[in-house]
Amino acid sequence: MTKPQHHDIVVIGAGICGATIANELLNRNQSVCVIDAANSPASACSSHAYAIAHPHIGKGSPRLLRLTRLAFLLAEARWGKEWHAHGIFQPTKKEKAFDRAGLIEHLRSLELGEDIAVPLDCEQAEKICGVSQSGVWISRGACLNLSKASKDLLRPHKGLTSLWNTEVAKLELRNGKWFLLDLNDQLIVSTNRVVIAAAMESKKLLTSIGVRLPLKPVRGQLSIFSIKPNDPWIKKLPKVGLSGDGYCLPAERLNDGSYRWIVGSSFDEGEDDLASREVSDNFNREQAKGLVNFIEGEASSLVKHDHFVGVRCVAGDRLPIIGALAHQPGIFLAIALGSRGILWSALAAKLITAQLLEDDFALLARLGFAADLVAALAPERFLAGALAAPGALASNSKPIFPSGPKAK
Is the per-residue pLDDT at 31 higher than 50? yes
Banded pLDDT at 47 (limits 50, 70, 90): confident
Q: Rounded to an integer, what distance in angstroms lies between the CA atom of residue 334 and that of residue 17? A: 7
pLDDT for 3: 60
- In this structure, the dihedral spanned by the alpha carbons of residues 179, 7, 10 and 208, taken in order and rounded to 10 degrees, is 0
Q: Rounded to an integer, what distance in angstroms lies between the CA atom of residue 340 and that of residue 81? A: 20
> 0.85 cut: is pTM over it?
yes
Helix (H) or strand (E) holding 144: strand 142-144
Banded pLDDT at 98 (limits 50, 70, 90): very high
Q: Rounded to an integer, what distance in angstroms lies between the CA atom of residue 278 and that of residue 227? A: 18
pLDDT for 364: 85
Q: Which segments within 27-87 are labelled E, that is strand?
A: 32-35, 51-53
53 has which bridge partners?
Answer: 142
CB 293 within 8 A of CB 125: no
- Which residues lie closer than 8 Å to 145 by C-beta, 6 or more apart? 49, 50, 51, 82
pLDDT for 260: 97
- What's the rounded mean pLDDT across residues 154-177? 96
Is the per-residue pLDDT at 284 higher than 50? yes
The number of CA neighbours under 13 Å toward the Cβ of 92 is: 19
pLDDT for 2: 57
- Residue 382 per-residue DSSP state: G
Pairing of strands 5-12, 32-35: parallel
pLDDT for 383: 85
pLDDT for 72: 95
Average the pLDDT over each of 43-47, 114-118, 190-194, 373-377 and give the range with the smallest value.
43-47
Q: Domains in the chain and their CATH numbers?
A: 5-47+147-214+317-382 (3.50.50.60), 85-140+217-315 (3.30.9.10)
pLDDT in tens, 213-241: 999 999 999 999 999 999 999 999 999 99
| Backbone CA torsion sign across 237, 238, 239, 241 | negative
**Average pLDDT for the chain:** 90
How far from 135 is each of 89, 96, 213, 407, CA to CA, in Å? 7, 10, 37, 26
pLDDT in tens, 2-29: 567 999 999 999 999 999 999 999 999 9
CB 322 within 8 A of CB 231: no
pLDDT for 39: 95
Average the pLDDT over each of 25-29, 92-96, 132-136 and give the range with the smallest value.
92-96
pLDDT in tens, 169-203: 999 999 999 999 999 999 999 999 999 999 999 99
pLDDT in tens, 306-344: 999 999 999 988 899 999 998 999 999 999 999 999 999
Q: Rounded to an integer, what distance in angstroms lies between the CA atom of residue 43 and that of residue 246? A: 24
Q: Rounded to an integer, what distance in angstroms lies between the CA atom of residue 340 and that of residue 51? A: 8
CB 9 within 8 A of CB 177: no
In terms of C-beta density within 10 A (0-12 exposed, 13-18 middle, 19 or more buried), how is residue 151 classed? middle
Is the per-residue pLDDT at 128 higher than 50? yes
pLDDT in tens, 359-369: 888 888 888 89
Banded pLDDT at 59 (limits 50, 70, 90): confident
pLDDT for 259: 97
Listed residue (147, 145, 144, 142) closest to 46, CA to CA: 147
pLDDT for 387: 40
- Main-chain phi, psi angles of 62, to 5 degrees: -55, -35
Query: Which residue type, as a one-letter code, is found at position 41?
Result: P
pLDDT for 86: 92
Q: Rounded to an integer, what distance in angstroms lies between the CA atom of residue 208 and that of residue 193? A: 16
